Structure 1
Amino acid sequence: MGSLILCHKKKAKQPYEITRIHIRIYTIEELCYYICNNLYLIDYTIMNTQLCDWIEQELELKALAERLRQEITQSCSAEQFVLTILKESTIYGQADINKIQSILEQLQNQNEVEREKYKADSLLKSGEYASAILVYQAIVSREWDDSLDKAFYGRIYGCLGTAYGRLFLYEEAAKMYQEAYRLCEEPQMLKAYIYSCYRGMQDEKFVKMMSGNPAYLSTASLLKEDVKRIRREIDMDISKEQLDQWKKEYRRIDKNHGIC
C-alpha cells in the first residue's frame, strides 16, 4: 500500500478487509488512502456496520463509528459516508476535501464505463502506464455503450496512444492515435498520429506515408510550429545566469573526464 505518515497512533490488531479488491487495512490513514485512490469504486457496499464496528473496536474511534452508524440508519449516500470518514480523520485539509467531494459528485453522475475511464485516466496521470493500458483496452474490447458517442471512445484510443507513447512504443501509439482520429476527427489526434509515425517509422516509410497527402503535410507543418513555439517558451524560461552556470558545469565535467 506504500508508506504512510501516521496521524493516529492506533493500529488494528485485526485488519479490515476490502473483499472487492482483496486488501487489508490496519489504520484510519490506510482506510483514507484506499478511499482517495479508489474513488471510482465507491458505492453502497462500503456502507456497512462491520466497518463501523471495526472503526470503534480496533481503532477506538467511537465518535466516528457512531456517526457512521447514524448515516447508515438515515440512508445517506455512499459519497457522504466516505466524506465523513475523510473529514473526521483530520488527515485532509478543507481544500482537499472539497476536491474529493467534487470528484465524487462527478462520478455519481457517470455510468460504469465512464467510471472505468476515470480509473484509467488516474493511472495514466500517476505514471502507471501499463496498468492504464489494460483498463483502456478492456473498455474498448467489450461491447460499446450506446449512450456514449463515438468521440468518447475516440478519446479512449487517444489516451491509449498517450500511454504507449510514454512507454516509447511509438508503433502501437500510432495505431491508437489513428483510430482515435477516425472516431473523433480531432486535429490534436492527427498531430499525435503523425508524430508517433515519425518516431516509430523508418525515414523512407515515413516520407512515403506523408507524400501526396495534403492533410498530413498541413498537419505536420502545424506540428513543427508547435515544436518551435515550445522550444522558444523553454528558452524564455531559462535566465542568462542559469545558462552560463550550466555551461560552466558542462565544461567542468568535460575537463574532469578528459573529453576536451
Structure 2
Amino acid sequence: MGRVLLCLGKYAERPYFLERLYINVYSVEELCYCLMQNSYLIGKEIIDEKLVQWLEGECGLKELAGELGEMMASGCSAAGFAGRILDYTGYGSREEIEKAKNDLEREADLSVHEKRMVKADYLVENRKYMSAIKCYDSLLEELPDGERALKGRVLHNRGVAYAGLYRFRNAADSFRRAYECGKREESYISYLAANRMFMEEREYVNFIAAQPRGYDQTLKVEKRMEDAAGEFEGTEESRMLFTLKVCKEENNSVSYYEEVERVTDDLKEEYRQMAEK
C-alpha cells in the first residue's frame, strides 16, 4: 500500500512560476513534485524571495516561509533551501529527498554553459523543440572557441530538436557540424539518417557513395530504420492507420474522410505546440 500524503497549506489562487521548468505550481505539493522530478535542473534561482512570499501569502505556510527567509539571510545553498521545503512537507522518502539534494549539489558544479544546455535538453525531452532550438542557438553564440566538445554536444542536441520538428535538412546540418567538432560516431550516424529522411533514393545513394565512411555507417542507419518501423507497428497510431485503410478499401468514404480530418487536425495542433517559442 502506498504512503498517504497529507496536503499542507492552501491551494494558491495565483501560481508560482518555475522559470527553469516553464511550469506554474499552485500548491507546495506541486512545488515538491517538480523539485523531486527535476532536481538536476534546479539552480540558485530557487532561492527566491518571491517564492517565500508566495508560500506564506498564497499557501498559508507562514512557519515554512519564516524558516526559508532565515536560510536566505544566512546565505544557504540551493540544495539546502530546496531540501528544507521537501523535509517540511514530508514529500517523498528519505532516499528520494537525499537524491534530490545530491542532484542540486552536483548542479552547482556545472559551468554556466552546461547549465543552459541542461535547460535546453529538458525542453527537448518535453517536446518544446522550438524553444529548445532558441536556447541552443543562444548558447552557440556565447560558447568560447575552446569549448569544442561542448559545442559538439549542443549542435548534436539541436539536430535532435530539428528532427523532432521534421526539419531534416536543418537537423542534418547540425549533426554534420556536431561531428566536425566532436568526431562522435552517433553524430555521424544521425547526420546520415537525417539526410536519409529528406533525400530522394537516388540522391541518397549518390550521397552515401561520396562519404568516406558511408557504407558501414549506412547499414547502421538502415537497421535503426527497420527497428523503428517494427516498433511503430504495435502503436495506437499504426492501428489507427490500419483502420483508415480498411475504411477506404470498403468504400466507406464518409467515415474515412471524417477520421482523416480529425487526425490531421490533431497532428496540426500537436505540431503547433512543439513549434511554440
Query: Could you tell which deviates more after superposition, 173-182 or 79-88?
Result: 79-88
Aligned match of 2:172: 174
By how many angstroms is 1:23 displaced?
A: 9.4
Q: Which residue of 2 aligns with 1:10?
A: 10
Aligned equivalent of 2:153: 155
Q: What is the root-mean-square deviation in Å for CA atoms of aligned residues?
A: 4.2
Residue 107 of structure 1 is matched in structure 2 by 107
The answer to whether the aligner puts 1:257 opposite 2:252 as a matched pair is yes
Aligned residue in 2 for 1:213:
211
Contact 1:194 1:220 in 2 (8 A): yes
- 1:229–1:183 CA distance, 2 compared to 1 (3 A): same
Q: Structure 2 unaligned runs (5+)?
A: 1-5, 236-240, 257-277
Kept after mapping to 1: 8 A contact 2:179/2:188: yes
Corresponding pairs, count: 244
Q: Quick one: distance in 2 between partners of 1:164 and 1:156?
A: 12
> Residues 93 and 118 from structure 1, CA distance in 2 versus in 1: closer, same or farther, beyond 3 angstroms?
same
Read off the aligned partner of 2:121 and give its amino acid letter: D
Alpha-carbon distance in structure 2 between the residues aligned to 1:19 and 1:221: 43
Paired with 1:202 and 1:29, the residues of 2 have a C-alpha distance of: 52
SS at match of 2:213: helix
Q: Distance in 2 between matches of 1:134 and 1:120?
A: 8
Tell me which amino acid in the other structure corresponds to 1:219.
Q
| Cα distance change of structure 1 residues 31 and 230 upon mapping to structure 2, 3 Å threshold | closer
Q: Which residue of 2 aligns with 1:136?
A: 136
> Counterparts of 1:1-260 in structure 2 under 5 Å?
7-8=7-8, 10-11=10-11, 27-29=27-29, 31-32=31-32, 40=41, 42-43=43-44, 46-48=47-49, 51-52=51-52, 54-94=54-94, 96-144=96-144, 146=146, 148=147, 150-228=148-226, 255=250, 257=252
- Residues 85, 256 of structure 1: alpha-carbon distance in 2 compared, 3 angstrom cutoff: farther
Q: Do 2:158 and 2:174's aligned partners in 1 also have CA atoms closer than 8 Å? A: yes
Distance of 1:218 and 1:141 partners within structure 2: 34
Residue identity in the other structure for 2:44: D
Q: Secondary structure at the match of 1:85?
A: helix
Distance 1:248 1:26 in 2: 42
Contact 1:35 1:42 in 2 (8 A): no
How much does 1:169 deviate?
A: 0.5
8 Å CA contact retained: 1:47, 1:78: no
Q: Distance in 1 between matches of 2:209 and 2:77?
A: 58
Cα distance between partner residues in 2 of 1:185 and 1:247 = 41
Given that residues 42 and 107 in structure 2 are in contact (C-alpha distance below 8 angstroms), is that contact kept between their aligned partners in structure 1? Answer: no
Letter in 2 for 1:83: G
TM-score (norm 2): 0.69
Pairwise CA distance, 1:97: 3.1
Comparing 226-235 and 200-209, the one that deviates more: 226-235
| Code of the aligned partner of 1:218 | D
* Structure 2 CA distance for partners of 1:137 and 1:33, relative to 1, 3 Å: farther
The CA deviation at 1:168 is 0.6
**Residues 96/249 of structure 1: CA separation in 2 closer, same or farther (3 Å cut):** farther
The aligned amino acid for 1:46 is: I
Per-residue Cα deviation, 1:149-172 (whole angstroms, up to 9, x for no partner): x12211111101111111110100
Aligned to 2:268: none
Distance 1:168 1:87, change over 3 A: same
Q: Distance in 1 between matches of 2:20 and 2:229?
A: 47
Percent identity of paired positions between Structure 1 and Structure 2 = 26
